[in-house]
Amino acid sequence: MIFPTFAEFKKKLDKGNLIPVWSEFLADFDTPVSALKKIDKGKYSFLFESVEGGEKWGRYSFLGTEPSIIFRSKENRI
């Protein structure tokens, strides 16, 4: 399922022009890395994984590609 719904998306347009859109799915047959390889569209694809309480595995993985904005940092500068 894709979030937000189209109706919710249209309502959010009044508040700004940068609206995140996402999909949730069970990945019983994929690892986060194999899922990223499936959607990878180049240089700025990314994978963030949650870690809870110092455990080795967390519950969520966040994958993305083609960001609308990129922040670069070097030492103490952004």
**Residue range 28-64, pLDDT digits in tens:** 888 889 999 998 988 899 999 887 766 666 678 889 9
Residue 77 DSSP label:
B
CA gap 18, 21 in Å, rounded? 10
Domain that holds residue 36: 2-64
Q: For 77, how many CA atoms within 13 A lie in the half-sphere containing its CB?
A: 1
Mean pLDDT for 12-16 is 86
Any domain includes 36 = yes
| Position 65 pLDDT exceeds 70 | yes
| Residue 53 forms part of a structural domain | yes
Q: Is residue 48 in a domain? A: yes
Q: Is the pLDDT of residue 68 over 90?
A: no
Q: Specify the higher pLDDT residue, 17 or 67.
A: 67
Q: Is 69 a member of any domain?
A: no
Task: Kindly state whether residue 59 falls inside one of the protein's structural domains.
Answer: yes
Full-model pTM: 0.61
Place of tokens 């960001």: 67
Examine residue 75 and state whether it is found in any structural domain, yes or no.
Answer: no
Number of domains in the chain: 1
Counting beta carbons within 10 angstroms of the beta carbon of residue 63, is it exposed (0 to 12), middle (13 to 18) or buried (19 or more)?
buried
The reply to whether 18 falls in a domain is: yes
Asked, as a colleague might, if the bond just before 67 is cis with ω within 30 of 0, I would say no
